Structure 1
């Protein structure tokens, strides 16, 4: 018993010392004017449930809250330090002098209460800032200088009961909170507009006062909108233009019916071919002018693509220019088009603008190397075109576009969201394709280098095909380092290098994105250290024993949780092990692929229990 007491005492003491170091580190970034003079490492911040340091809330000898109110404090709130307080549940900095934008509290997943009222915080609050903070119950941001719209991520917090936003500069409409969600709510003295959501109609009038353009219960009913004379004139003009456009379309279609069949085949739908042909025309101005046909005319139709796949029906630049085309997207590296050739083939043409540091011979050699790739889960490059300033890569069109579209764009595009068996099949296919690339392209440090959901294309049967692989050697390094996924890995952020395990990190992020339906925020970071582990930290916290039901982690559109929860959780764990920040601790690709292959669609009841995950 004595020995047990000594062990427990030692554990508590070590925990307190750890909390002390964390808080002292926090103190370094705060201007306190002596208000935090009791924060010294000569004694721990907590003694059981009693605090030894001012402004600290304690429970069982550990810090559960930081309550620094009315102290005249300023400076910076170091969230990276605060997140090390694993038992932190309350953070209150009310009535101080903190300014600037709202700290990135997204990292403090376990917080239940936030009190930042009465400071000088300002600016627009990012829409995603509260995303994933499912334990939050109370948010007090009153009497600051926040502007912009109220973040929509607030409506995703299931336990939110208090939201105090009065005396700021918020504008726009009030989010549609669910009925009974909020017990205490105040947006008075802002610049809110529109109708108050019915779910908030029972609140006191004072909760909405000082917003002159706000209406609806409990305020006065919203009056029917009245159009000014100027607005009426604009509407009339727009209607007239629409009618004129409709007449023009009718004329074009009627003329098209009168065309000979051969001539009609080369005409694309109005408004769709123009962007594609114009882009390619501009791209070819320099080259085509020097390539003359025998009759002295420009030889655009004679400009040949270099085909990498044997047995493919050949076509040239002229065929692409004549194709019925639509733009699929425009990104950092260039534009992507779908081109429907006269023969019925549907091709994807990707135009790259940032490969101009590679010489002709080097580019051709690398493309031929990629052209030898042959795997059921790797999208082959059909053909390419080289010009010093710009390049074209041509692929087969995949009917179901990309995994990103189905995870994040299904609600707007009307496509079904993939269920659990489909997602598992996709991840298994991706891991097989990635393993193949590692064997086929062993000299590349990151054989894929740009692995993300938008580069996982899906065929008619939802089988995954890896795209945009092996491009690091030919993309301009400044662009690659700023935008390619490999350069957003922890090892590049910390040490300025990528490793053989960098694609494994990308695979882990892809697994977590696929299972949660959440887009990794790190993919938006450009050039500076970001929160590349946000999604990882959130998943780790949510599945930690005693913190939350793992069901809350899974994308609600995935289905089949009852009979597959254990296997789904197993895949989550694989994703976390692939996302280990320390490269030495991260799984290598071979182990990741083997573990993924072992995941089944349904649980084996003898194998699964609900004890939580361990890394």
Structure 2
């Protein structure tokens, strides 16, 4: 009998130990598991039989205490329990891109050591709790793409370590809290777009000296004037104020200067440069003194401080004085023309005659004797005509030299109006792409050096990296990373002479679209000069091993021009081709290269000389349409032809079914992606709007694609 009692007690102890083995934090997480649906089984190993939750999926511990809870993109459905706040050592929470809903429990903020709270892409609603002010160590708060409403709690300014505040695409209202800019001085990223914030923009926002990238206040209801103090933000910061109710003159100082109109559109009350709407005298008079540059004409009549000595009696020059000045200018111009003609015929002409008589070698000597009438200062001449006979690395990791490059195996990849591109394989196996800009030409080395080194500083996974360059009188080389998978034009349309053609599926196309958008956002917002590509097309979008896109040929036309090249003007005609005849005597990429800007360039490119970022947006939109439809930029309809944008607009107006529009080479399994395809087509149509001001920024395009991807995950 005694052994049986002992055995019973032993089994009972083992059972009790199994029941009580899990610690308190484990039971808190089990309560979370019970409150949500987990269709993908991301919490399948959360078991009560474990001693602690530190080995569970998405859980990270330190000294057996939970410090991080991260389960993104797993279609979790349900609400967060208030008991999560009892995880007092919790530092990081990440539930982004799930289907969580309900209010944010105030008890969550009892975990006062919380450093990051990332909940974007869910369906949370209600107010942001006032208790958020207790999170004195909070650095990242991302509540974007939810349904939060009410005003931003005033207590948020107590989170003085906050570096990232992203609240876009909610229903938040009211003014920003007092001391928003004064107390949140650590902010680096600020995105409040697509809400209903109102009131004036706080003047103390100019104190946020650590901000980077884009400060996005767009698509709200901010009113009043733009505070000139915003100009105190770092000059590299792009301030997006579009689609608010702002009014008055746009301040012209600091970070607000030299901005295009696209940063201010959608505010009917704004006036002054860069908008075409001039300010009335009453409006401009009410502006801050620092809003406009202080030009000579700004001095009031009779002001003793006027260095130009203007006063009320000085109405202008007399008629006789004006006639005298004009006559004097004409005589001076004539004398200069005679002097130029004399010098050219006596000296420069002599050199050209020598070249004709004695051949190229003597002509070279003649050309080296400059026309003495216009000889530069010797130091200037030396700086412009300096020769570089060695490879100049633009990356400290460049471990090869010119000799290795010249001895390497080289294969021609392609030819264009801007030189030949070679695939070069070094002895150690490193593969590079080398573009030869041509022989001879201008000797503007310093200008070339400045430009090429600026391009060489660009570093982004979706932009081809320029690693080094070589300059001499007779040779100019650009050395890039080699991207192995061809270009996007070939991936969409196939290549001449290759019978087998494997179309890319929709998910890969969508990833390529996003990668191109990321590269353009970097160029537009984060590059040192907020660059414009200006010549974006599928043939200069290269694809890596995993089909990731790399934007190439950035700044190439400018470099070729400086180097003395003569880029060939592209033809504005395309050889007749049926849209889906992929195997011809020429490749689709060659066809793309022969299309003048009408294929990918914005309509205003025919009128405006200087490219803008909206040009790139338009080109990107055409590329999206091309990837959706599989058609070339010039579409043949019967005996006529139209560009791709006109064709897709015609299809939409004619209410053609989607099956008539999308690329017939898309794999059959992509048929169920109809909603995504339509959503991308809508984005593309916004990009190719005829009015540049109504096109979205690339930042907004990328956000839209991210939301689309998040909803499909």
Q: TM-score of the superposition, structure 1-length normalised?
A: 0.44
Structure with greater Cα Rg: 2
Q: TM-score of the superposition, structure 2-length normalised?
A: 0.38
